[in-house]
Amino acid sequence: MGFAMDAAILVIIIVLTAPTTRSADVPCRTFEEIYPSGRELCEKMFDDAFVYETNLSKAFTMWFFEAENPNNKVAERLGLPSADDCHLEYFHKEAPGPEPDNFTECHPWKDYSCCHQDTVSSAQKIKEAYGKEWHWDRCGPLSSACERFFVQEACLYECEPNAGFYRKFPAHVYNESDPNHNKWQIEGMPIRADYCDAWFRACRYDRFCAVDSGSFFSCAMEYAKVDNTGDDGVNAGLIAGVVVACVVVAVLFGTLAYFILQERKGQPVFNKLEA
Ligand SMILES: *[C@@H]1O[C@H](CO)[C@@H](O)[C@H](O)[C@H]1NC(C)=O
Ligand SMILES: *[C@@H]1O[C@H](CO)[C@@H](O)[C@H](O)[C@H]1NC(C)=O
Ligand SMILES: *[C@@H]1O[C@H](CO)[C@@H](O)[C@H](O)[C@H]1NC(C)=O
């Protein structure tokens, strides 16, 4: 019967065109299209966590090779006390201290770190630690040159004792019953301008989430929405499509039945046009 065939085709068409929320709906662009320069990359990507600082004597670095952490001298110049408490609470230790020899991924902080080896044992571990919505490669794999900077930033955040001085809601401000407060966020930490510029050069042609001028926080919220609609939204979209298609087909069958009934009663809905 032709009608059944038409109905089946209709279902397929509706399912295929049903609105779906997919990762693809979260826009991706190259770093160079998202951020005008290293300044915006550092200041925008992590909301207000970092400040692009051109006076290098007053700016922290996200990586180093010296035996002694150069950020300690910076902190001293900025009038900060010596960091003997981690202050931040994500995966952080309470107080900084040494890590074992297998602490290689974030090696600069091995002797005095706020992170546990177990938290930062590999780039993969770091990438996956905060949930799927925080994966930095959701616009496709990053070049290793670019990805390295994300690892370094995570090492700074988890391991650098001086980062704790920049907690957004420090102990004297933090209000446990205020839902907007937290113990993990940092704000206004001055970062070396040349470090930010290097990050920009390394990632220039890589792709990243472009939501809200490349705010990683806004991006993560978008991805969380997408993830909550099912496996990349495809399942939820498919279900919605099938439901819509079934309703349409049911209405069509109902209408057809009505026409047939009326015809049989001798009261055709469509009278032949009088010539
Ligand atoms: C950089 O900061 C240091 C320390 O605050 C200050 O003494 C110096 O004058 C600054 N340099 C420039 C070029 O502003
Ligand atoms: C690293 O070394 C510590 C102490 O020697 C050990 O407990 C831990 O399991 C090691 N971790 C890894 C990932 O090898
Ligand atoms: C803490 O936050 C709660 C909820 O927002 C508020 O009612 C209370 O006044 C705050 N306490 C202080 C000391 O600010």
What digits encode the pLDDT tens for the residues 151-195? 999 999 999 999 999 999 999 999 999 999 999 999 999 999 999
Number of the ligand closest to the Cα of 172: 3
Question: How far, in Å, from the CA of 57 to the mean position of ligand 1?
Answer: 7
Which pLDDT does position 158 carry in this prediction?
96
Q: Is residue 275 part of a domain?
A: no
**Same domain membership, residue 244 and residue 202:** no
Which pLDDT does position 91 carry in this prediction?
87
Q: How sure is the predictor about 20, in pLDDT bands with cuts at 50, 70 and 90?
A: very low
Report percent pLDDT > 90 for the chain.
71
Report percent pLDDT > 70 for the chain.
75
What is the pLDDT averaged over residues 111-117? Answer: 95
Most distant CA pair in the chain, distance: 100
**Same domain membership, residue 128 and residue 248:** no
Number of the ligand closest to the Cα of 116: 2
Nearest of 20, 5, 54 to residue 239 by alpha carbon: 20
**Same domain membership, residue 136 and residue 97:** yes
Which pLDDT does position 266 carry in this prediction?
67
Q: How sure is the predictor about 229, in pLDDT bands with cuts at 50, 70 and 90?
A: confident
pLDDT over 70 at 11, yes or no:
no
3-state SS, one letter per residue, for 36-98? CCHHHHHHHHCCCCEEEECCHHHCECCCCCCCCCHHHHHHHHCCCCCCCCCCCCCCCCCCCEC
**Same domain membership, residue 159 and residue 240:** no
**Same domain membership, residue 244 and residue 109:** no
**Same domain membership, residue 121 and residue 91:** yes
Q: Whose CA is nearest to atom 13 of ligand 3?
A: 175
Nearest of 115, 182, 183, 181 to residue 153 by alpha carbon: 115
Q: Is 100 in the pocket of ligand 2 (CB under 6 A)?
A: yes
Which pLDDT does position 18 carry in this prediction?
47
Residue 208 CA neighbour count, 13 Å, CB half: 29
The count of structural domains within the chain is 2
Q: Is residue 273 part of a domain?
A: no
Q: Give the best-scoring range by mean pLDDT among 120-129, 221-230, 263-272.
A: 120-129
**Same domain membership, residue 177 and residue 237:** no
232: left (phi over 0), alpha (psi -120 to 50) or beta: left
Q: Is residue 272 part of a domain?
A: no
Which pLDDT does position 8 carry in this prediction?
57
Pocket, ligand 1, Cβ cutoff 6 A = 55, 57-58, 77
Q: Give the best-scoring range by mean pLDDT among 232-236, 242-246, 261-265.
A: 261-265
Domain that holds residue 238: 2-18+233-264
Inter-residue contact 26 to 220 (CB < 8 Å): no
Q: Is residue 274 part of a domain?
A: no
Q: Which atom of ligand 1 has the smallest separation from the CA of 55?
A: 1
Which pLDDT does position 207 carry in this prediction?
97
What is the pLDDT averaged over residues 51-60? Answer: 98
What is the pLDDT averaged over residues 218-241? Answer: 72
Q: Is residue 153 part of a domain?
A: yes
pLDDT over 60 at 273, yes or no:
no
Among 12-26, 64-78, 211-225, the range scoring the smallest mean pLDDT is: 12-26
**Same domain membership, residue 13 and residue 126:** no
**Same domain membership, residue 153 and residue 70:** yes
Which pLDDT does position 6 carry in this prediction?
61
Count of C-beta atoms within a 10 Å radius of residue 185: 17
Q: Is 101 in the pocket of ligand 2 (CB under 6 A)?
A: no
Question: Collapsing DSSP states into helix, strand and coil, what is residue 158?
Answer: helix
Question: How far, in Å, from the CA of 115 to the mean position of ligand 2?
Answer: 14
What digits encode the pLDDT tens for the residues 76-94? 999 999 999 999 898 898 9
**Same domain membership, residue 237 and residue 104:** no
**Same domain membership, residue 79 and residue 39:** yes
Give, to the nearest 10 degrees, the angle between helix 38-45 and helix 193-203: 100
Question: Collapsing DSSP states into helix, strand and coil, what is residue 220?
Answer: helix
**Same domain membership, residue 75 and residue 37:** yes
Q: Whose CA is nearest to atom 6 of ligand 3?
A: 178
List all residues 6 or more positions away from 94 whose beta carbon is below 8 Å from its beta carbon: 85, 86
Give the mean pLDDT of the chain.
86
Q: Is residue 154 part of a domain?
A: yes
Structure tokens at 184: 């993990």
Q: Is residue 203 part of a domain?
A: yes
What is the pLDDT averaged over residues 101-125? Answer: 95
Which residue of 102, 104, 125 sits with most ligand 2 atoms within 8 Å of its CB, as the best mutation to test the pocket? Answer: 102
Q: Is residue 270 part of a domain?
A: no
Look at the chain and count its residues.
275
pTM summary value = 0.78
